[in-house]
Structure formats: structure tokens, C-alpha cells
Structure 1
Amino acid sequence: MDKNAVAAIALIVGVLVGFGVGWVAFAGTPTEQPSGLLAQIQARGYIIVGTSTPWLPFEYYNETSGQYEGFDIDLVNMIADYLNVTVHWSDMDFDALVGACKSGTVDMLAAAMFVTPERAEELAFSVPYIRTNEVVVVTGNSTLAIEDLEDLAGHSVGVQTGTVEDEELSALVKNGTNIDLHRYQKVDIMFQDLIAGTLDAVYVDEPVLVVYQKVYSLKNIFTVPAPPTALYCRYDSPDLLKAINTVILNAYSDGSLDALVEKWFG
């Protein structure tokens, strides 16, 4: 692990309780020499961004408009405008995102990704731009009730593959909790299985529940505070990271981030 990865992991503790001056200084003043990725992006005229749809309201593909839409999409478009480039979206399975960014297949990631020590070992993360909760969701007529995640023992539960929710429940299973864990690449299929009775519950980000409650009768039976959410790029791209952070910090200060929250979360 290089020195930037170590520094990022050390700073996660501070990020989890708020956005401190130390983090902003780290994000805005990278210690490595620029890799030239930002210059390459501006020379080619577009930035390649990895995402994973559907994960409403953060990202989804609108079949009617033929466009990607959502909170993350709007935020990345702000970054592209700042760089004076367009966006080429690369839509893939969530658990393929980190590898795609590390290999250079994409320039950055925007996929409602929580900040975790494991991800910080692999990639550099931006100034966090939102914080949500994780929730255990059941159908409206379900009688299932839990007081902690271990109480899901004996029940079939769906998660999106590679998410923090997947990691948390997988750890419980590994340690002996008898959860019948089902992993899905697509969250819409997971909710369909919940409604069909294939699953007893699903474990997702709270904003995802809010969207699907408009379609199905669903309820939250347990809430877990989640880490903050950030964008990701490679550690050898400090010039790009600095530009990303500049846009996010400006969006905090001028109110445009609040406007995105209002637009997508109401």
C-alpha cells in the first residue's frame, strides 16, 4: 500500500464524523506529481466515468430520453462542465467498478459508493458529498421485525453484490449467522423478488427504498447509519482528484449541492 492509501485510511475516521480542515487540505494539495490524466481527459474532450445502474435516485438510464440521470449523474456533469469536457458513461456491475478504475478502463467512479478502508486501499476518494443510511426493507404486509442485523438469521435477504450491505451481511454469515444471503447485480430484479416472496427482506441505501416505495408497498424495519459517499479515482491522478474536489467544495459553498439534494431527495 502506498503512502497516499495509508493517509486516506487514517483520515476516514475524521470523515466519518464530519468534513474537517485536515481532509480538505489533503484533498486539495496532493503530494505526488501530476500524472497527466487530467491533461489527457481535456485533450480528448471527454471523461470516462464508471457507474452501475439502476441505483435510483443516484443513477439510472432513462429509456425514454436515452440519457443517464440521477444525483451522481448531475454531480459528474458539473465536474465535466468545470473541465470543459463531455461525459462518456461506462455502465457495469457494481463489483467490477474498482477494478475498472484501477486498470484505467475508466477515469473515475460515480456510483453512490461509501467511503470504506477497503476501498481506500485501492483508490483515492473525493471530499464526501452526501451521507445516507442503510435500511432493511420488507413488504408492507410483512410481520418480520428485528432489533439488529443478526436477527435476520433464518431469513432470505437480498443485497447488491459488492456493496457495503453485501460486505456487512457476508461477514455475519462467515461468522456463523444463518442468513440466506442472495446477491444481485441489479437492484430492480432484487425488489421484484422481494415482492414475489422469493426474499424476506432486502438491505439497501435508504434513498433507494424511497424510490421503490413509489412503486411497491414497502417499509423500513431497521436502520444502520452509513459512511459518507464519495467519488473515486486512481491515486496516480492527483490532478483529477483536485479538480473533482474543487467542484464539490464549490457546490457546497454556492448552494448547488443543496439544490441537487432537493431535486433528487425532495
Structure 2
Amino acid sequence: MGHIDVTDRYQSLARTPFGRLLVKNLGLPDPPRLERWTPGAPVVDGTVVLGGAAGGRLANPVQRQLKGLDVAAVGALDTGRTAGERAKALVFDAAEIRDVAGLASLREFFTPLMRRLAPNSRALVLGTPPERASEPAAAVAQRSLEGFTRSLAKELRAGGTAQLVYVAPGAEESLTSTLAFLLSPRSAYVSGQVVRVGNTDTAIDAGGAIATYDRHQPLAGRVVLVTGAARGIGASMARVLHRDGATVVGLDVPALASDLQALSREIGGDSLTLDVTAPDAPQ
């Protein structure tokens, strides 16, 4: 974007010899360098380890959809003494855990791999919505996945993130866009969240056909209104949304009309100059 914010400048300083000395001696924050997605980059640049509890209904659909994203998943890392392979992402199918005892499979999968994660790693736990569980014990176990995932997110270091994805029965083949976002650098600032995927998420185009997901421009065909778009965060959001395929309509106050119009020309969008706080503003 040709823009460096305050955080980036601090990170650049913190990684110089003098900056590292200051960070260490003064106890200053030492933020990790987060990977940023760039057009044409792969969804995952590294190894994805896919596991699951016995009888899981999601592992096979996930593997197929990852393959469609040009992501290869393995069942385990090399455990040899000299093995240096690190995992870029961990995905665990917990959808068929039916009681509290079954939660032990999460520990058995994640614990050995936590020390073998690459920087900016991703961890996904896939479950069944508790309200769709077959019996009370299963509902309790599935609800427990939220606490586990948030604890896991706090344990991850070096820019790692963790999310819980509740997948409704019947939505097993509707995970492509969710996987592409949560496993990629696009989700660098998202962690410890609960995402729900229902069985009505399939996109239909104007001709009534199932729309093909474009991982490079996932917002193609969408129109997005961005308020405060003339400068700062709003302008950055507008550029990212445009990069991802959306037609952006930028809105800002009349005093910033020239900046707003310049941005609209840059990204091929439209602009509206309006003070939404004015008494006569549209409702």
C-alpha cells in the first residue's frame, strides 16, 4: 500500500541491534512480525497437519477442500530425532466428540506439536454446534471446545492464531472459504474466535449456478460501503477490500472530499461526501 504505520516503524526499530537492546533492558513490548497476505501468495506456505477424534465427519471433506486450495495435509510430522520439519497449521476434527472423556484426544493431538510450530502458525478446531448435538453429554463436550480453543490461542506464540469452527451437519462441503481465510495470513489479527458454518452458505450466482470460490478475490461481485474512507484506517480498509475484488463506495465528510475522490480514482470505486452525524443526514 505504500504506507507504514506507527506499529510498523516500532517493529522495524525493535529489530535493529540498538532496538533489541532497548526492548530487552527497558522491558518494552516485542511484537512478532506478522505475515501479510499478498496477491498470488499460497493459502498456506508450509505443512498442514490434519487430525481428528474417532469417527470424525469432517476430516475427509476438509482434506478434499484443502486440496482444491492447493494445500496438502499430512497426518503427522516426521518424528525422527533429526527431523526439523515444522507445522504451519494444525487442523483437528472434534465434531464427533460425544463426552468429556473424548476431549482428551485434543490434548493428545496438540501437545506434541506445539513445540514444532512455525512462526505465524494457525490452529483450527472443528466441531458440531452444541445445539445440534445428539445428546446432552455431546452438547457439553462440544461447548467445551470454546474454552479449549481460547486457551490454545493464548498459548500460541510468534504470531500464531487459533479458532473454533462449528460446522452444522450438512455443511461439510461448505468450508472452502472459511479454511482459506483462517489458515492464511489474511487472518493475522483474528484469534480465539468462534466461527459458525451452516448448510446454507453455498453462494449462487445470477444464473442460478453454484458460484466458484475465488481465493484471490473472494469479494468479487460484492459492493462494500466504507465510512471514514478518505484517510487512515478507512482508506486502508477500502484498498484491501478492493484488492479482494469488492467494488468500494467510500464515504466521508465534505471537508475531506478531495482525499476521498483521489482514493476512489485509485481503486476504481465510487465516493459519497456526507456527514452522517448531521441532523438532516439520511437515516
TM-score for both structures, normalised by structure 1: 0.25
TM-score for both structures, normalised by structure 2: 0.24
Larger Rg: 2
Identify, as 1 or 2, the structure richer in helix: 1
